[in-house]
Structure 1
Amino acid sequence: MTVYSLEMPDKGTITYRDNKRYWWLLSIFNPLLGFVGIGLHAATGNEWMLLAPLVFSYTVGPLLDWWWGEDENNPPEEIVPLLEQDRYYRYLTYLAVPFQFIGFLGLAIWLGTQELGLVGYICITVVAGLGSGLGINTGHELGHKSTKLERWLAKIVLAVPAYGHFWIEHNLGHHRDVATPDDPASSRMGENFYRFMVREIPGAYLRAWRLERQRLAREHKPVWHWHNSILQSFAITAVLQLGLIAVFGWIMVPFLLGHNVLAWLQLTSANYVEHYGLLREKLDNGRYETTKPWHSWNSNHKFTNLMLFHLERHSDHHANPARRYQSLRHFEDLPRLPNGYYGMFLVAYIPWLWFKIMDPALLQLKHIDGDLSKVNIDPKRRDEIVARYGNGKRPVQASA
């Protein structure tokens, strides 16, 4: 086990051991879970076995998060530079890229070479789509880094689910507008997952193209240029997915369409739970306050954090977006989710249950304390929410 040690003149020797160092391997093997379903299907002939990875993620995952509990450990700040310089952690994110392709292609080839009925076809499409949603998470981690290699790896891995616009939109749009009414990727109090979905997916896509057009214009280039980062990723998507159609025929078309949409919905699920109802204060100069840790819902649940490159320590990520996953911190008095992401996704898909759990939790946050003027509210449900929870303060106006 690697021990990081640093001599400080005023503090003596500071040491730190990352007890999760090798547990992070779960994040790179996560995209390969589809092979478990393939193996069980091959062994039993039962097409329902192809759903095993989905069952594991959405039943065993939340149970392990509940049983294993939360990790509030932080690396000492003095050690963080050493931790971030350790290339082992970086290599794991690099490896996750080819593993994402292997996991996706394994499922696509199994579909193309086996005599599957409708049940098997649907099962393998669902598992492939949800598995490729993990590629967006890998692209998220890589896309925030400043090296050319990591930026290119982000474009490459985002090509698997045809979501090449994500890192542009996320870095330059979502991180700028997060927890404000202007952000299509921040969910509002009273907005259910399905209404958020139809606002977030097209809104993020259009914002990405607007941002990339502006970037290229500053370089005196047209939007339809080979320097367009979105088009670069989409070109890889075209080679990958049209290649599968060329090899296996039209049977791939519904599979690929379903796979892409389900992968996008994985990201949308994460965006929905990460900022629900949270709001940055608008200053007198018309700008919003700097993003703080309490503008994101956080989760310290061990298992799914290890499966998702610490994505659930989202509060520190938004406050310090360049910080690498192994260094992300826990803070006291943060908005905290009651379970990891997979468990919260399931709750989000049942709107009445989500509202029952999360609306009171939102209003009880220390920095909100029941004040609706500090909440990002769905404009279509504002009157209803004010009637139910109103405290005489005017809630913020959100664009429809």
Structure 2
Amino acid sequence: MTTTESRRTADGGDAAGDPAGTNGHQLTAEEQKWIDKKKYAWVFSLFPAAIPLILWGGVEWMKAVDAPEFFVHATWFLGPVAVFILIPIGDFVLGRDGENAPEEFVPQLEETKYYRIISYLYFPIMLASIVLCCWQWTYGGLTWYDKLGLAWSMGMTSGIGIVAAHELGHKKGSFERWLGKIVLAIPAYGHFYVEHNKGHHVKVATPEDPVSSRMGENVYSYLVRSIPRQIPRAWNVEKKRLARAGKSQFNLDNDVLNAWLITVLIWGVLLVTFGVGVLPYMIIQAVIGIALLEFVNYLEHYGLLRRKLEDGRYERCSPEHSWNSDNLTTNIFLYQLQRHSDHHANPTRRYQSLRSDVFAPELPAGYATMIATAAIPPLWTRVMDRRLMQYYNYDIERANLHPAKAARLRRKWNRIADTRHSAEAV
């Protein structure tokens, strides 16, 4: 790298030409040399949006070279392989990220349009993927298991699409918020826009939040408990907001209602264009996408608890109330969602600026690996309960406990704590 190149700033400008940096701050020599090493890697965050397109290309290539039929059929199922095998391999090979942008560069990063364009492009690619899927389900001559595999792979696109919508939905601009709602329409999860921003972020890491999983609660019971409670909470948030403005809850200003109408519109156009036969596979991809998102929700705050203050309010949300996992590959593919503590502290901060916080509890692996771990509850309990207790210095009362398991958990971990204290005393 040349001297000139090494002095490039986050948006590609010449740091030497702007020695004062952002807001008039005098940058140090080292800060002037800082570059966003991940800048062009963010293009890879669009690959999940194109999973069905990539698989279709692979199938066509294999047909052209007369590959065995088994491989042709198996290709449609490779979406989950990309998410749950290739990404963890990338995490293992490339390791942790760990680099935070100097705070003086954050405003500049936030204003660089390149990063916004990357997040905007997820939707048109995702839309092309769902249109291709519908065409294949109707006219592609696929077997029923090929169609199922394609729906499963499209579910990966939809699930990660909710992450992209999450990034857009937190922003202040109306264009980005509406684009987030449109992305949410494909997995039919439009209420997430309200529920996440105005429900989860307010009550996170408390027993009152259905999205914050509890110690002793396995992921399957969590899904059954959490998902049905999110819709009424989102609706009630909008009902109260509109009532304060003197409006009916059945109003197009209701952000739950208008998000659902976008789903009806997009799904309706696809059904009219490709026939009702695509409906079962549309439902399958939506269910898988939602499950993928909710698995992530499960692991992000497992067992973590905000204390209740004397005035009845909860302490302010801090980095200690979110599990982080700063693995480089997963960070790229999930818009740094794994830097979750900084996201809760600064919800409008853009993905490229999110920081890894040393005070946040750390998951032992990236999200994809931890989702697979959560799918096996005894393995999850073995890995995460001890990690949670180590973080809380074996004080079980500091954890957010599943009510049905609270007594058993107290007996177990109080006994372990007593044994540890006795050993330390000796």
Conserved? CA contact 1:48–1:119, under 8 Å: no
Q: Whole-Å Cα distance in 2 between the matches of residues 12 and 327 of structure 1?
A: 19
**Which residue identity lines up with residue 330 of structure 1 in the other structure?**
S
Q: Name the structure 1 match of 2:423.
A: none
User: Alignment RMSD, CA only?
Assistant: 1.7
Q: Name the structure 2 match of 1:232.
A: 258
> Counterparts of 1:208-247 in structure 2 under 5 Å?
208-247=234-273
User: Which 4+ stretches in 1 moved above 4 angstroms?
Assistant: 8-13
- Distance apart, 1:11 and its partner CA: 5.5
**Which residue identity lines up with residue 411 of structure 2 in the other structure?**
A
Q: Which range moves more in the overlay, 189-198 or 27-36?
A: 27-36
Q: 1:29 aligns with which of 47, 51, 55?
A: 47
- Distance apart, 1:247 and its partner CA: 2.5
- Distance apart, 1:229 and its partner CA: 1.5
> Counterparts of 1:36-47 in structure 2 under 5 Å?
36-42=54-60, 43-44=62-63, 45=69, 46-47=72-73
> Counterparts of 1:55-66 in structure 2 under 5 Å?
55-66=81-92
- Residue 341 (str. 1) matches residue 404 (str. 2): no
Q: Name the structure 1 match of 2:393.
A: 369
Q: Whole-Å Cα distance in 2 between the matches of residues 360 and 252 of structure 1?
A: 45
User: Between Structure 1 and Structure 2, how many residues are aligned?
Assistant: 391
> Counterparts of 1:276-315 in structure 2 under 5 Å?
276-315=302-341
Q: Name the structure 1 match of 2:205.
A: 179
Q: Whole-Å Cα distance in 2 between the matches of residues 88 and 286 of structure 1?
A: 44
Conserved? CA contact 2:44–2:333, under 8 Å: yes
- Matched residue of 2:296: which SS? helix
Q: Which range moves more in the overlay, 42-51 or 170-179?
A: 42-51
> Counterparts of 1:29-108 in structure 2 under 5 Å?
29-42=47-60, 43-44=62-63, 45=69, 46-108=72-134
Conserved? CA contact 1:372–1:391, under 8 Å: no
Q: Which range moves more in the overlay, 121-130 or 188-197?
A: 121-130
- Residue 387 (str. 1) matches residue 411 (str. 2): yes
Q: 1:169 aligns with which of 169, 186, 195?
A: 195
Q: Name the structure 2 match of 1:275.
A: 301
- Matched residue of 1:78: which SS? helix
> Counterparts of 1:198-217 in structure 2 under 5 Å?
198-217=224-243
Conserved? CA contact 1:104–1:132, under 8 Å: no
**Which residue identity lines up with residue 9 of structure 2 in the other structure?**
V
- Distance apart, 1:392 and its partner CA: 10
Q: Name the structure 2 match of 1:195.
A: 221
Bigger radius of gyration, 1 or 2?
Answer: 2
Q: Whole-Å Cα distance in 1 between the matches of residues 226 and 268 of structure 2?
A: 27
Specify which structure has the higher proportion of helix: 2
Q: Which range moves more in the overlay, 167-176 or 92-101?
A: 92-101
- Distance apart, 1:118 and its partner CA: 2.3
Q: Whole-Å Cα distance in 2 between the matches of residues 285 and 392 of structure 1?
A: 33
Q: Which range moves more in the overlay, 244-253 or 279-288?
A: 244-253
* Percent of paired sites with the same residue: 40
**Which residue identity lines up with residue 247 of structure 2 in the other structure?**
K
Q: Name the structure 1 match of 2:279.
A: 253
- Residue 140 (str. 1) matches residue 158 (str. 2): no
Q: Whole-Å Cα distance in 1 between the matches of residues 189 and 179 of structure 2?
A: 13
Q: Which range moves more in the overlay, 75-84 or 234-243?
A: 234-243
- Matched residue of 2:39: which SS? coil
C-alpha deviations, 1:112-152, integer Å up to 9, x for none? Answer: 21222221121111111221111211110011111111111
Q: 1:266 aligns with which of 282, 292, 296?
A: 292
Q: Which range moves more in the overlay, 207-216 or 26-35?
A: 26-35
Q: Name the structure 2 match of 1:359.
A: 385
Q: Which range moves more in the overlay, 246-255 or 277-286?
A: 246-255
Conserved? CA contact 1:364–1:370, under 8 Å: yes
Q: Name the structure 1 match of 2:421.
A: none
Q: Which range moves more in the overlay, 38-47 or 299-308?
A: 38-47
**Which residue identity lines up with residue 338 of structure 2 in the other structure?**
E
Change (3 A) 1:102 1:9: closer
Q: Name the structure 1 match of 2:354.
A: 328
- Distance apart, 1:34 and its partner CA: 1.7
Q: Whole-Å Cα distance in 2 between the matches of residues 117 and 89 of structure 1?
A: 40
Q: Whole-Å Cα distance in 2 between the matches of residues 9 and 19 of structure 1?
A: 22
Taking structure 1 as the reference length, the TM-score comes to 0.94
Taking structure 2 as the reference length, the TM-score comes to 0.88
Query: Structure 2 stretches of 5 or more lacking a match?
Result: 64-68, 418-426
- Matched residue of 1:343: which SS? helix
- Matched residue of 2:76: which SS? helix
Conserved? CA contact 2:83–2:156, under 8 Å: no
- Distance apart, 1:12 and its partner CA: 4.3
**Which residue identity lines up with residue 29 of structure 1 in the other structure?**
F
Q: Whole-Å Cα distance in 1 between the matches of residues 25 and 124 of structure 2?
A: 44
Q: Whole-Å Cα distance in 1 between the matches of residues 413 and 205 of structure 2?
A: 20
Conserved? CA contact 1:370–1:391, under 8 Å: no
- Matched residue of 1:23: which SS? helix
Q: Whole-Å Cα distance in 1 between the matches of residues 25 and 238 of structure 2?
A: 47
Conserved? CA contact 1:89–1:326, under 8 Å: yes
Query: Structure 1 stretches of 5 or more lacking a match?
Result: 394-400
